[in-house]
Chains A and B, each alone.
Chain A
Amino acid sequence: MLSLDSVAKRFGAVQALRGVTLTARAGEVLALMGENGAGKSTLLRLMSGVHQPDDGTIHVAGVEMRFATPIAARDAGIRVVVQEPEIIPDVSVAENVYAGTLPRRGHFFDRSALRARLEQDLARYGFSGVLRPEQMGRSLSPAQRQLVEILRALIGQARVIAFDEPTSSLSDHEVESLFRLIGQLRAEGIAVIYVSHRMKEIFRIADRILVLRDGATVGERLAAETDEPELVRMMVGRDLSALFRRSERRVGRTVLKLSHVSTEDVQDISFEVRAGEVVALAGLVGAGRTELAHAVIGDTPLLSGQIEVDGRPLRLASPRDAVRAGIALAPEERKQQALLMKRSVRDNICLAILGRLQRFRVVSRSKESRIARHYVQELRIRTPTIEQEVSTLSGGNQQKTVLARWLARDAKLLILDEPTRGVDVGAKADIYAIIDKLAAEGSAILVISSELPEVLGLADRIVVMQGGRVRGELDRHDATEEKILSLAILEDAA
């Protein structure tokens, strides 16, 4: 029904896909697995026309297609049901489902025809009673939102429906109905593509399983002929060891101590980070790691539990308090959350230390430039001058600029959220070397990373999270990719 032949896609310095071949057959469920960043989402975006492949071809029912826009893919019968579908909050379910093709009589909107049509369609697909046509968009549960999206797909005569981690926001009961629905779709001859990390689900509904790693196909198995350990083995195993260096580190006092920290997103988190060590926070995207980081720097409130820095309990009303206590965050979304894109490298490096460079409130420009130049040199930030606008730098150099900001501030504890996302290999190695050097000099560092080789290469200890909780802590010497991944995905692992 749908086939992608050796498609490749590159985003800036990152090769997201390197020749992946995927075939979805009518009346079959194909599961797509892989670590975070393996290329699953990119693959879905290529088939739904959000991005266009740099190389390779897409065939639908044997005809070669080029999807210039998502609408073109939709017209060809391909729909991707995303985790959080676009729902217009203040109109009814009926209008949401038929948005863009509302029935009209002359120029007047025909409410009764719309209603009749939706009820008919709901009955046809077996959704009667689950969705009320007049219910407002904003009051829908996550599962109902997905149903709306699925209905949109079915009404649009979809021949291929892809689900991107559909169950992450669903309750058990809702998952059951979703699986029944997928079974029904398969019976009707629709090709289903199912992206998920959850092994149990995969084995329940998938016919075939395609495993990706680093933007390439690792292998394809029939669900009946494989098991969980084999899939985990296929997903892990990248070799990046050449990028890492490990200096002598001397672990000192406890800098950060979390005891039973709970927020809206995470529950009962306890662990420590000591001076001179790198602790990695591993887990899947959505495991609550970023949310935890934002709680530690005071960006979101704690519901319960305690954060101690250097043995003193910390009261955080805003990130200002954390920064003053010596905690710094280099966030994952550096363009949105860390950088002043239209300002110079110098302004960005000195953002957090202006208060220290002033005398009678006048900031010494020469001190500022000296500091900026120092860090540009030390961190090897590639920029023509320190006056260069940050938006013109590459991702790696932007990240180094953010690091420089906190080094200039002498932060005791650095929290680095996905420090190498969107960074090319050369800059990656630089960033790893910086982290190693800082740890050797006695900084406490907490790295959030979804890349297992990075976690293993950097960390002294690894804390694995799943579903907002800590699932386990591993020492570097007995951590393996398989152990980490098992803790991060398998539901019965303790």
Chain B
Amino acid sequence: MTNPAGGSSALAPKVRLPALRRAWALIGAQNISLLLALLLLVLFIGLQNGNFFYASNIATIGTTVAIVGVLAVVQTVVMLLGGLDISVGSQAGLTSVVSAMVFMATGSALAGILAALALGLVLGLLNGVVIIYGRVNAVIATLATFAAYRGAANLISDGRAQGYTGMNHFFVFLARGDMLGIPVLIWILLLVALLVQLMLHYTDIGRNIYAVGGNATAARLAGIPLNRYIIGCYMLVGFVAAIAGVLLTARTGSGQPTSGSQGLELQSITAAALGGVALQGGRGTIVGTILAVILLGVLENGLIILNVNSFWQDIAQGLLLVVAVVIQQRRAGGRGVGLP
């Protein structure tokens, strides 16, 4: 290290970091390692099968990750707060069914979508209320609603796909349309990610979310209304899960109680953890989560292209989640006894 002002007192504050280190700090070690992993993965798959690089394949990856992506973004928000939402997939399933059924009943795509979004808010509110006023651990609360919401979806749909949206222009536009050559699904993912990123980074709301997750007691003593934040975040998850539900309906052409939404909770949590969101809350970024979502999407696509037995998908996902958390724990340097 060079000392800029030679001979000045030792107490003088260091004025600037070297440019390289500043850039490094800006992007973050976590994101750089994710980018490297992504690059290696892309190279590996691409070398095995050149079809990987076709634009159509890239677009396929983009559209498949869109639904997981929006959920991973809001999962990041609750995890920053120190919580977790296991019920995201069930919420998406239930709102998907409802959007299709309301659409069939009214003939209006807008009505179907609005009904789904409103229901999403209610589902999120319910999660938040159980956690706050029932004093139920977030994992247990959302595990319970994970089962209950899925049950509700199966109940109202009789366990079958509902309605048909394939003739509606708007649903078709959502599923297969594109703007400026980029699929609408990807635009929606980018929009959700951008809005949440702006909220987290530039507003007092976002800063308080980090504060609550970093040290809830300190946040409370500083006058931040914890309950409002926690319930609000779960409602945000419900709202975005409803967007995911609508996208699910649009992509498959009908309301899906379970197929398509199953496993979204695992994927969204894996993406957030892999993207560097601390399970204890308070640390993590949307950029990291999005990179992790892309990584997971590429991995999934690669395994299909390389003709790997699809059951390996789940094993790979589970492994990645464990690896991501192990890396986090190592980095945090926490020591302790008993269960973490």
Contact = CB atoms under 8 A, between A and B. Distances in A.
Contacts of A351: 211, 218-219, 222, 224
Given A384-B13, A385-B13, A338 B221 contact: yes
A299 B14 CA distance: 40
A320 B207 contact: no
Contact of A357 (B204, B205, B220, B222): B204
Contacts of A329: 221
B124 interface: no
Interface string B204-223: 11011011001101111111
Given A340-B282, A341-B215, A354 B204 contact: yes
Given A338-B218, A339-B215, A341-B214, A318 B207 contact: no
Interface residues of A, number: 33
B207 A363 contact: yes
A337 interface: yes
A286 B202 CA distance: 43
A361 B204 contact: yes
B283 interface: yes
Contacts of A367: none
A340 to B, nearest CB: 4
B223 A340 contact: no
A319 interface: yes
A358 interface: yes
A266 B208 CA distance: 32
A354 B202 CA distance: 11
B283 A342 contact: yes
Contacts of A324: 223
- What's the dominant secondary structure at chain A's contact region? mixed
B225 interface: yes
Contacts of B211: 340, 343, 347, 351
Given A358-B204, A362-B202, A362-B203, A318 B220 contact: yes
Nearest to B221: A319
A320 B224 contact: yes
Interface string B1-19: 0000000000101100000
Contacts of B203: 358, 361-363
A405 B224 CA distance: 14
B14 A342 contact: no
Interface string A316-336: 001110111000010100001
Binding site secondary structure of chain B: helix
Given A343-B210, A357-B204, A320 B218 contact: no
A347 B13 contact: no
B196 to A, nearest CB: 14
B279 to A, nearest CB: 14
Contacts of A338: 215, 218, 221-222
Contacts of B215: 336-341
A318 B225 contact: yes
Interface string A341-369: 11100010001101101100111000000
A470 interface: no
A318 B220 CA distance: 8
Interface string A283-322: 0000000000000010100000000000000000011101
A354 B208 contact: yes
Given A342-B214, A357-B204, A385-B14, 10 more contacts: A297-B221, A322-B223, A329-B221, A341-B215, A343-B282, A347-B207, A351-B218, A351-B222, A382-B11, A405-B222
25 contacts: A318-B220, A319-B220, A320-B220, A320-B223, A322-B223, A323-B222, A329-B221, A331-B221, A337-B215, A338-B218, A338-B222, A339-B218, A341-B215, A342-B214, A342-B283, A343-B211, A347-B210, A351-B222, A354-B204, A361-B204, A363-B202, A382-B11, A383-B13, A384-B13, A385-B14
Query: 9 closest Cβ contacts across the A-B interface?
Result: A323-B223, A354-B204, A340-B214, A361-B203, A352-B222, A320-B223, A358-B204, A337-B217, A384-B13
Interface of B: 11, 13-14, 202-205, 207-208, 210-211, 214-215, 217-225, 282-283
